[in-house]
Amino acid sequence: MGSLRVAVLKDADGTERRVALDPDGVTRLLKAGDGSNIEVLVESGAGSAAWFSDESYSAAGARLVDRASVFTEADVILSVRRPLAGDIDRLRSGQAFVGLLGPLTDPEMMSELATRGVTAISLDGLPRTLTRAQGMDALSSQANVAGYRAVLVAAAHFDRFFPLLITAAGTAKPANVLVLGAGVAGLQAIGTARRLGALVSGYDVRPAARDEVKSLGAKFIELTAAISGAGEGGYARELTPEERAAQQAELAEHIARHDVVITTAQVPGRKPPLLITADTVARMKPGSVIVDMAASVLGGNVEGSAPDLTNVTANGVTVVGAGNLASEMATSASQAYSRNIGALVAHLITDGQLSIDLAGDEIAQGVVITHDGQVVHPGTEALLKTPAATESGDSR
Ligand code: NAD
């Protein structure tokens, strides 16, 4: 029997279809522990919504258990998202809970986990520019899946072909697709729309994005307004109100000419920037489609969009507020997430035990939110001191 028990919890809020570890991830984790000092438990049915059967987990070497046993037996619990409110009471001191916890959007839950003595580890705190952490970058892997899916969602709502088609029944013009925000999700959306045969343009406020957009065979939209939105760590900065107004006005001209617009713009720690006003939507042609990947309870890139809400405007534009797009492609998203979380857990294990080095390990410094009864993540700690300051739709 292994000395460290790692358990996969079913994300059971009724909407999440991803699972934290796939059967291949079980095999990898057992190998990382040399087969002798790690045991992997999987909650029965944990992978079923992503098409991983209980049998496939058993075959990979996991022991299937019920939900209660996950909490009583595990040293480390793996999840995709936060624990359910009803599960928090079942977590015990010394246990670690690993997932995409979004600590900045629910600092109070992190405080509760600290009080319970739980070590909360969140993949969204990972220092993404560290080369050795790239295999653990779940924000990128899930954004990649979501960017791909956004194009399929847009295509499914669009009542015309994406590619140029020449048939005996006539010629179909290719769709004009515009992707706003060319980070991980945006670049994947550009590549996917290109593969479907659309004419694709991209735009980002970071000058570095220009070459990346062009290298995918898309056109980069240049604005005449001198806005350079590069911020810290490769991310964008928040624009001033004047810059934002200039950007909205100039983008409106381009948006009106496109059939499909996919928006992905985010600024870490801030609510998503508004790129498309209702007036701009009103200028688009009937039958046009917008997918707002930034839709959040705090607002999105498109005025009036909300997560999981699809609305057809009076002028016939379908505005899709994306929900959890990665969960809609649960198998690929879980396979990638499994690699990320498995690599992170393997990194944190020394001699068959979870060992957290907050003094010397940059990766631990980023991902460990609570430890030894304390909230140790500076951003989360700051929010708990001034809760009114939270404006974040994002957890980095
Ligand atoms: P993100 O989700 O924070 O934002 C998405 C995009 O929105 C970004 O490209 C951002 O510039 C853009 N944006 C923000 N405000 C905008 C506005 N007003 N108008 C237009 N666009 C706007 O970004 P992300 O996908 O997480 O990636 C951000 C950066 O980090 C990219 O440069 C990416 O290549 C880099 N990155 C690096 C690594 C690595 O070094 N290993 C890993 C992941 C991402």
Quote the mean pLDDT of the chain: 93
Please enumerate, as own/partner, the contacts of 201-207 that have beta carbons within 8 Å and a separation of 24 or more.
201/176, 201/177, 201/254, 201/258, 202/178, 203/178, 203/179, 203/251, 203/254, 204/180, 204/229, 204/236, 204/265, 205/229, 205/230, 205/236, 205/239, 205/247, 205/265, 206/182, 206/230, 206/234, 206/235, 206/236
How far from the centroid of its chain's Cα atoms is residue 162's Cα?
26
Pick the CATH number of 144-327 from 3.90.1580.10, 3.40.50.720, 3.40.50.2000, 3.30.1960.10: 3.40.50.720
Q: Active site includes 247?
A: no
Q: With bands split at pLDDT 50, 70 and 90, how would you rate the model's confidence at 371?
A: very high
CB 96 less than 6 A from any atom of ligand 1: no
Q: Within 10 A of 154 (CB to CB), how many other CB atoms are there?
A: 27
For ligand 1, pick from 266, 276, 362 the residue to mutate: most ligand atoms within 8 Å of CB: 266
Contact between 174 and 162 under an 8 Å Cβ cutoff? The reply is: yes
Please check whether residue 370 is in contact with residue 118, taking contact to mean a CB–CB distance below 8 angstroms.
yes
The answer on pLDDT for 36 being more than 70 is: no
HEC string of 20-56 equals: CCCHHHHHHHHHHCCCCCEEEEEECCCCHHHCCCHHH
Tokens of 233: 């760590």
Known catalytic residue: 128? Answer: yes
Residue 208 in this model has a pLDDT that exceeds 60: yes
Residue-wise pLDDT for 211-262, tens only, equals: 999 999 999 999 887 777 788 878 888 999 998 998 999 999 999 999 999 9
Token digits for 25? 């991830």
316 lines ligand 1 (CB under 6 A): no
How many C-beta neighbours within 10 Å does residue 241 have?
7
> Which pLDDT score is estimated for 1?
47
Instruction: Extract the tokens encoding 367.
Output: 């991902």
CA distances to 51, 293, 328, 354 from 136, rounded to whole Å, are 23, 22, 21, 17
Q: Check residue 390 and give its pLDDT.
A: 47
Q: 96-134: per-residue pLDDT in tens?
A: 999 999 999 899 999 999 999 999 999 999 998 899 999
- Whether residue 369 contacts residue 120, with contact meaning beta carbons closer than 8 Å, is answered with yes
Domain with CATH 3.40.50.720 in the chain: 4-137+331-390, 144-327
E runs forming strands in the chain: 4-8, 38-43, 63-65, 76-78, 96-99, 119-122, 165-167, 170-172, 176-180, 199-203, 219-220, 260-263, 289-292, 309-312, 318-321, 349-350, 353-354, 368-371, 374-375
Q: How far apart are CA 22 and CA 119, in angstroms?
A: 23
Give residue for tokens 């409106």. Answer: 252
| Residue 327 CB less than 6 A away from ligand 1 | no
Q: Please, which pLDDT band fits residue 70 given cuts at 50, 70 and 90? A: very high
Ligand 1 midpoint to CA 236 (Å): 6
pLDDT the model gives residue 164: 97
Dump pLDDT digits (tens) for 308-335: 999 999 999 999 999 999 999 999 999 9
Question: What tens digit of pLDDT does each residue of 143-186 get?
Answer: 999 999 999 999 999 999 999 999 999 999 999 999 999 999 99
Question: Average pLDDT for residues 63-87, to the nearest whole number?
Answer: 97
Query: Does ligand 1 come within 6 angstroms of the Cβ of 268?
Result: yes
Instruction: Check residue 396 and give its pLDDT.
Output: 53
Average pLDDT estimate for 65-74: 98
What is the mean pLDDT of the segment spanning 11-40?
90
Among the listed residues 140, 247, 296, 392, the single catalytic one is 140
pTM score, whole prediction: 0.94
Residue 45 gets the label, from left (phi > 0), alpha (psi -120 to 50) or beta, of left
- 203 belongs to the catalytic site: no
pLDDT at 2 over 70: no
| Residue 310 CA to ligand 1 centre (angstroms) | 25
Q: What is the mean pLDDT of residues 355-373?
A: 96
The class of domain 4-137+331-390 in CATH terms is alpha beta
| Percent of the chain surpassing pLDDT 70 | 96
Of how many residues is the chain composed?
A: 396
Which residues lie below 8 Å from residue 370, measured CB to CB, with a gap of 6+?
A: 110, 111, 113, 114, 118, 119, 120, 376, 377
For ligand 1, whether the C-beta of 143 sits within 6 Å is yes
